[in-house]
Amino acid sequence: MPHKLLGASVTALLILQTIFVVAPSFILYGYNLSGLGGLVGLSTWAETFSEIDTVFTKGTLKTHNTTIQGVVVACFTLGAITGSFTCTFYGDVFGRKKLIFSGALLTLIGTIIQASSFSLPQLIVGRIILGNGVGQLSATVPVWQSECSKPESRGKHVIMDGVFMAVGYFLESWINLGFYFTSGNTEWRAPIAISAFFSITILVSIFSFPESPRWLIRVHRVEEARSALSLYKGADEDSDAVAAELSAIEAACEEFQKASLREMFTMGEEKLAYRFALCIMLQFFQQMCGSNLVSVYSTIIYHENLGLSNITSRILSGAMLTFKLFSCSVAFWSIDRLGRRACFMISGAGMGACMAALAVATSFPDNYGASIAAACFLFLFCFFTPIGFLGANFLYCTEVAPLRLRSSMSSISTANHWIWNFVVNMVTPIAIRTIGWKYYLVYACIGAIIPVVVYFYYPETKGRTLEELDIMFKQISSVRDIVKYSQKERIVYGEQGFDGGKSSIEMRETIEEHNKA
């Protein structure tokens, strides 16, 4: 007989988790990350925050204000860096749910301060607090999801993070456009305040869900872990399936009890430095492929770079981010079919090509045809982004990290994600107004590098339990062999991967045979 939670069958548990926690967490991410990008050009905004006015200023003063504007917009990411990094120290102390609650509370406080701002210092404080909360959510929610999902569907569950980021971008662009036609400060205060709804949703629902069974075992709360695992697996607490997975998790915890951050910088038997480098590089690629540039500054690109009118720029920005949302369906279909490697390579190559084409198209000033082509490549860029770099990056980092360092690796790599996010937010307004089309060449080069790096260094992780991935990294002797072996097993066992009835012992034996060969 299926377990029940809040009157819902266990089949609905992950759906409810997605609706009430995952969705609002990453809508907050996308909505607030791009939120000010569409507001800084409003006249009422310029009147309230004259220190960052770029509408009614010219010459040297405009250049100065543009720099300060970039800093203010990027304050959100400074807060997110701090928020995600703190999870390194508190993630395994307080657990996943308490950190998610803390993150949601901070986003609510930050939203209230921002929406009620009458001075630039108040706006900056609110933006930093809001970013801190979003940083905690972005570092913790994917870990919680990954540790609670089944191997065969883990990709689809965590890739939804990227879908909801896109929903956030979508809502922000159209809500900003809608309030553009209102009068007074409402046109920027209301769009900021609306995001409080998502924070409140998380706050009132998070403690209705089970904690991560893997974290519960790590802190020796075995009976609670058994109960949580039975809910997530849809089996009775005393069933063989629950007992087997519980034993595998306990074995992983017993074998490696102590965790030290210094370990992440050493190879050793587990190859932790290699695994940590995979996370760091992937989050670097996610930001420096141009994804954040297009999502946050699309209105400015259309208006200032392509010379389109203010209203046309806003409409095109909304349409483009709507297209990006629909393109997420490709990632949802492909992540557990094609695998992580293929998705990263296709996405990186596609984005790099689009950025190169965008650089060429924008190099012709006052050319209507070139502007149309540039707009088309921006839309095409938004098709390729979700395939590999709008959620799968968070998923992969939680998969390759060992249990005892999963929270720390995820937190630090997410902090790295926000550091490069800050760089993009800070530099973009200045770069677009100074070097123009040449700026896009940076992203084109990085996009071209992604498929090469992924092909040689990133092993496939789809279809494996988190404990099996641990065994794979530990048992295989070299980095190149890990990549080759992950591909070989995916071909041999097809869609089932290592989870097709193979126990951890059998997997160890298979790896030993591979090493001997």
Over residues 378-394, the mean pLDDT reads 87
Over residues 467-480, the mean pLDDT reads 83
| Nearest residue to 22 via CA among 165, 197, 152 | 165
- The answer, as to whether pTM is greater than 0.85, is no
Comparison of pLDDT for 195 and 509, the residue scoring more = 195
List the domains of the chain with CATH numbers: 4-235+249-457 (1.20.1250.20)
Contacts 24+ apart (CB under 8 A), 181-190: 184/44, 185/44, 185/48, 187/42, 187/44, 188/39, 188/42, 188/44, 188/45, 188/48, 189/115, 189/116, 190/115
Cα 88 to Cα 221: distance, rounded to the nearest angstrom: 21
- Predicted local distance difference test score (pLDDT) of residue 506: 53
Comparison of pLDDT for 278 and 366, the residue scoring more = 278
- Predicted local distance difference test score (pLDDT) of residue 499: 40
The per-residue pLDDT of the chain, averaged, comes to 81
* pLDDT at residue 416 greater than cutoff 50: yes
The encoded tokens of residue 175 equal: 């809500």
Q: How confident is the model at residue 498 (pLDDT cuts 50, 70, 90)?
A: very low
Q: How confident is the model at residue 444 (pLDDT cuts 50, 70, 90)?
A: very high
Find tokens 């940076």 and name the residue: 442
- The predicted-structure confidence for 231-279, as pLDDT tens digits, reads as follows 877 777 777 777 887 887 777 666 555 556 677 787 878 888 899 999 9
Cα 195 to Cα 15: distance, rounded to the nearest angstrom: 22
The encoded tokens of residue 401 equal: 């990290």
- The predicted-structure confidence for 121-135, as pLDDT tens digits, reads as follows 999 999 999 999 999
- Predicted local distance difference test score (pLDDT) of residue 254: 60
Rounded-to-10 torsion of CA 299, 50, 185, 323: 10
- The predicted-structure confidence for 244-255, as pLDDT tens digits, reads as follows 878 877 776 665
- Predicted local distance difference test score (pLDDT) of residue 502: 47
